[in-house]
Amino acid sequence: MKQIGKKIALLIKEVKSPEELRILLVNYPDSDWLQEQIFEIEFDLFSKKGALQ
Protein backbone atom coordinates (compact mmCIF):
# COMPACT_ATOMS: atom_id res chain seq x y z
CA MET A 1 0.00 0.00 0.00
CA LYS A 2 2.86 2.40 0.75
CA GLN A 3 4.23 1.86 -2.74
CA ILE A 4 0.90 2.91 -4.27
CA GLY A 5 0.83 6.01 -2.06
CA LYS A 6 4.31 6.99 -3.23
CA LYS A 7 3.34 6.57 -6.87
CA ILE A 8 0.19 8.64 -6.40
CA ALA A 9 2.18 11.34 -4.59
CA LEU A 10 4.54 11.57 -7.56
CA LEU A 11 1.65 11.71 -10.00
CA ILE A 12 -0.23 14.48 -8.23
CA LYS A 13 2.88 16.63 -8.21
CA GLU A 14 2.75 16.55 -12.02
CA VAL A 15 -0.87 17.70 -12.14
CA LYS A 16 -1.36 21.05 -13.84
CA SER A 17 -5.10 21.63 -13.57
CA PRO A 18 -7.96 21.25 -11.08
CA GLU A 19 -9.76 19.00 -13.58
CA GLU A 20 -6.94 16.46 -13.37
CA LEU A 21 -7.18 16.53 -9.59
CA ARG A 22 -10.92 15.87 -9.70
CA ILE A 23 -10.32 12.83 -11.90
CA LEU A 24 -8.02 11.43 -9.22
CA LEU A 25 -10.69 12.02 -6.57
CA VAL A 26 -13.24 10.14 -8.66
CA ASN A 27 -10.85 7.20 -8.98
CA TYR A 28 -9.91 7.19 -5.26
CA PRO A 29 -12.97 8.60 -3.41
CA ASP A 30 -12.21 7.00 -0.03
CA SER A 31 -8.67 8.29 0.30
CA ASP A 32 -8.57 10.98 2.99
CA TRP A 33 -4.84 11.41 2.41
CA LEU A 34 -5.42 12.04 -1.29
CA GLN A 35 -8.19 14.55 -0.58
CA GLU A 36 -5.84 16.46 1.73
CA GLN A 37 -3.04 16.46 -0.85
CA ILE A 38 -5.39 17.62 -3.58
CA PHE A 39 -6.70 20.46 -1.43
CA GLU A 40 -3.13 21.70 -0.91
CA ILE A 41 -2.28 21.43 -4.61
CA GLU A 42 -5.49 23.17 -5.68
CA PHE A 43 -4.69 25.97 -3.26
CA ASP A 44 -1.20 26.30 -4.76
CA LEU A 45 -2.58 26.25 -8.32
CA PHE A 46 -5.09 28.99 -7.55
CA SER A 47 -2.43 31.02 -5.73
CA LYS A 48 -0.11 30.83 -8.73
CA LYS A 49 -2.93 31.62 -11.12
CA GLY A 50 -3.86 34.71 -9.10
CA ALA A 51 -0.24 35.86 -9.00
CA LEU A 52 -0.02 35.70 -12.80
CA GLN A 53 -3.05 37.93 -13.32
29-44: per-residue pLDDT in tens?
888 888 888 888 888 8
Give the least confident one: 17-21, 33-37, 43-47, 49-53: 49-53
Q: How far is CA 25 from CA 8, 12, 51, 52, 53, in A?
A: 11, 11, 26, 27, 28
Break the chain into its structural domains and give their ranges: 2-52
Phi and psi angles of residue 41, each rounded to the nearest 5 degrees, phi first? -70, -40
pLDDT for residue 10? 80
DSSP 2-26: HHHHHHHHHHHHT--SHHHHHHHHH
Cβ–Cβ < 8 Å for 12, 37: yes
pLDDT band with cut points at 50, 70 and 90 for residue 2: low
pLDDT for residue 15? 76
pTM beyond 0.75, yes or no: no
Determine the 3-state secondary structure of 36 from DSSP: helix
